[in-house]
Structure 1
């Protein structure tokens, strides 16, 4: 006897053998049990999830010699012939090869005749969305009012292509993709029955490669058995599928976390020598980063792969959540841009280098001099005899020189000089910024100015903007944070805020947050900005309301002002 592939040998013959799809099974079983049977069923879903299988089991349930039942006997002649594909009253049609209207009319010519052997004449039309428009039109009337002995079973992978007139005449069941656990457990059951040695990790790889399709998983299982010489081992399946091992992916993540560029490029070269695709590498990295993000959000969460849990938990504590999210986005964009790279390997290397150097907590040594020049300002020191004219005054003076005929401009320049409080060299000495002075003390007056000058990332910036200064004692700054914003004061955010303040002041200070809410504490920087925005908005609304042109437009066109649309100018 010729070899029968696993996908056909282990095809379900009853509802109890079907894996998953409980929402569809429940509806069919209840309909058969209560004898509430529709005349047309539509099974929709991706390939290999059981559409045609469920249709055949339903046909067998309708024609079993023991009666209409949800548990056909499987022993009578009708059940045996349906299982073997030779039941005369089960007419299976491949719509992909019979799309013409003449084929559909020929099929419907026999609808009026009673079944030859069974209780019902069942028409199973696979890939029904492939029928032509004329074929659908020819089918409409019969589908709406078929004879009592006829049932229509349709299967499709693309229900959107079916006319709504067809969909409205059918009971539609959407079959879902099978989960990794459902596929791997079923593969394990089959291998146990076949007495074939296997490893659970290998079955998980096959289930992942099947992408929700049980038929694809069984086909891959056949291939893995042949590749592994009668066994299903993890290493053999990994080589067969070209997957990247968890050890290799964890080595890449370790190199990224430790900022080890030489180890990172060495791992990429090793993977390239093994023939691993750049897309698969980025997919594997994104899966690990996604699991790390879940562990950061829910530390007690248990991953499906218990072997990687300790490593990812430790790495999740080492990297900040924003770093993990940024690395995930870089990998996602890098995968999208791979087709535009000169070679897949170069595109992968550039993506990993971006993940290495764009981390919020890391600045490359090679980029440090540039960072120092562009981001770090040296502390201001008092000058013996500074230039009495500031840059702002020079700009104003230049404006006056280039427009000597404009009196308002001259006045503005004079006002500008007056506002900047610049006097002659004999009576004025420029003072250093009190916030940037290394000997300056932090108090309620200059706290918001200090916070506004700091270069901070998103989460730390929110914490700084919403902190209110309470008092300062020796080298300790006491701050207050509203209770509803307590989640901002994470350990990492506090450390970064303290480091930024110490760097700005060239001191070593410690931040402490107090829980009590004191109404007498000065406003935060965020509150000051909100108040400034409210004042500017009020000024803008007042200016619009008092503008004579606006008043004329209101009177002429019987119009009204929508206050929500008024925005202050920047």
Structure 2
């Protein structure tokens, strides 16, 4: 039986071109290699799962490649590339600072730096989670980091740049990695699905991408989970069932009931949501996000801010036409207040229900306010006062 390899490892980028959503980093690194402007130390920082360690490995592989391609990518055919791909390169050393964070660990590393590479041009030291080093270890590392041998290059990676002492930061060329955009993650998942011959629905992939919160590794882990759960098919309904996410459809139904001032329908829908095991706080946060999306759809220029699939985007556009800006702003204000005070409420269910009742009365309040501002009402008021 063939061993299963998770997608995050199986489809880990091996070239700069295959890195997702970090073109500002990869372009700079490729230009540095092409123009021979390599720094002595790099610091890759950013959230988890965005490609810091991956880019560090690609950089280490590329600068030792003996036959660089015209687009400054590794050839994957020379001895250096083959040894790297087989994890047997003597020129590339990886250190996990989370478990090797003492002064002695750094002293051993400094001792290794003294020896030049037997083959190849550079010796590269990748130190992951570098913020976990102790202050003493940082201080022991300073001199070597500032004046390393010409053949030594250090690549440090961290999720918490603020924990690294300023004297280390000043000796490194710093690269800030971005959270990966939802569309980029969804496109990459679609590409993997096609490679694996897996059926997918665009809404399901967008949902996975949103749940990943900008981390591609998280998205791939969720994708593997859904594929295992649904037997090689990733559908929207199976995704929301497995991830225990409230369906968009509920928010559309609740908003329709509020616009129609149907308080009973709104309360019954909320009761149905609670009976399915969803939390009232998550519901009110999701409803706030729904109102925000409807506001975004009010103007074609801001529609691109919606991070949903095309079918759901069409539904948002249709409902946005039915809801006035006054209603959406008032409802969003009530929902935000409910969210802020939810945890301190003694009866949390009643707290959300009261917010829904207030929202259901917004259309009549708006209608009364517009009537009071009309010229006919002003004339009537004058006659009554007279």
What is the TM-score with the length of structure 2 in the denominator? 0.91
CA drift at 1:298: 4.4
What's the counterpart of residue 171 of structure 1?
173
Rg larger in 1 or in 2? 1
Cα distance change, pair 86–275 in 1 and its aligned pair in 2 (3 A): farther
Q: Is 1:501 equivalent to 2:357 in the alignment?
A: no
Which structure 2 segments of 5+ residues have no match? none
What's the counterpart of residue 328 of structure 1?
332
Whole-angstrom CA distance in 2 between matches of 1:300 and 1:112? 56
More deviation in 285-294 or 313-322?
Answer: 313-322
Whole-angstrom CA distance in 1 between matches of 2:30 and 2:287? 43
What's the counterpart of residue 468 of structure 1?
none
Cα distance change, pair 503–295 in 1 and its aligned pair in 2 (3 A): farther
CA drift at 1:347: 3.8
Cα distance change, pair 260–363 in 1 and its aligned pair in 2 (3 A): farther
Q: Are the equivalent residues in 2 in contact too, given 1:136–1:166 (CA < 8 A)?
A: yes
Q: Is 1:291 equivalent to 2:293 in the alignment?
A: yes
2:106 aligned counterpart, secondary structure:
helix
Q: Is 1:110 equivalent to 2:109 in the alignment?
A: no
Whole-angstrom CA distance in 2 between matches of 1:291 and 1:85? 47
Cα distance change, pair 52–300 in 1 and its aligned pair in 2 (3 A): closer
Q: Are the equivalent residues in 2 in contact too, given 1:243–1:280 (CA < 8 A)?
A: no
CA drift at 1:360: 6.8
Cα distance change, pair 5–254 in 1 and its aligned pair in 2 (3 A): same
2:297 aligned counterpart, secondary structure:
helix
CA drift at 1:284: 2.7
Whole-angstrom CA distance in 1 between matches of 2:251 and 2:21? 31
Whole-angstrom CA distance in 2 between matches of 1:310 and 1:199? 16
Whole-angstrom CA distance in 2 between matches of 1:498 and 1:163? 68
What is the TM-score with the length of structure 1 in the denominator? 0.63
Cα distance change, pair 495–154 in 1 and its aligned pair in 2 (3 A): same
What's the counterpart of residue 101 of structure 1?
103
Cα distance change, pair 328–213 in 1 and its aligned pair in 2 (3 A): same
Whole-angstrom CA distance in 1 between matches of 2:236 and 2:179? 24
What's the counterpart of residue 349 of structure 1?
353
What's the counterpart of residue 265 of structure 2?
263
Q: Are the equivalent residues in 2 in contact too, given 1:180–1:204 (CA < 8 A)?
A: yes
Q: Are the equivalent residues in 1 in contact too, given 2:181–2:214 (CA < 8 A)?
A: yes
1:66 aligned counterpart, secondary structure:
coil
Whole-angstrom CA distance in 1 between matches of 2:228 and 2:376? 60
1:16 aligned counterpart, secondary structure:
coil
What's the counterpart of residue 237 of structure 1?
239
> Deviation digits for residues 48-101 of structure 1, max 9, x if unmatched?
000000000000001113259821011233223323433222111111111211
What's the counterpart of residue 11 of structure 1?
12
Q: Are the equivalent residues in 1 in contact too, given 2:296–2:302 (CA < 8 A)?
A: no
Q: Are the equivalent residues in 2 in contact too, given 1:56–1:82 (CA < 8 A)?
A: no
> Deviation digits for residues 299-329 of structure 1, max 9, x if unmatched?
8846554434555445434433232122112
Whole-angstrom CA distance in 1 between matches of 2:238 and 2:206? 13
Which structure 1 segments of 5+ residues have no match? 365-455, 458-492, 508-570
CA drift at 1:244: 1.7
CA drift at 1:496: 3.4
Whole-angstrom CA distance in 2 between matches of 1:343 and 1:101? 54
What's the counterpart of residue 22 of structure 1?
23
What's the counterpart of residue 38 of structure 1?
39
Cα distance change, pair 506–191 in 1 and its aligned pair in 2 (3 A): farther
CA drift at 1:335: 2.1
Q: Are the equivalent residues in 2 in contact too, given 1:55–1:124 (CA < 8 A)?
A: yes
What's the counterpart of residue 91 of structure 1?
93
Cα distance change, pair 362–74 in 1 and its aligned pair in 2 (3 A): same
Higher relative contact order (CA 8 A, sep 6+): 2
What's the counterpart of residue 365 of structure 2?
362
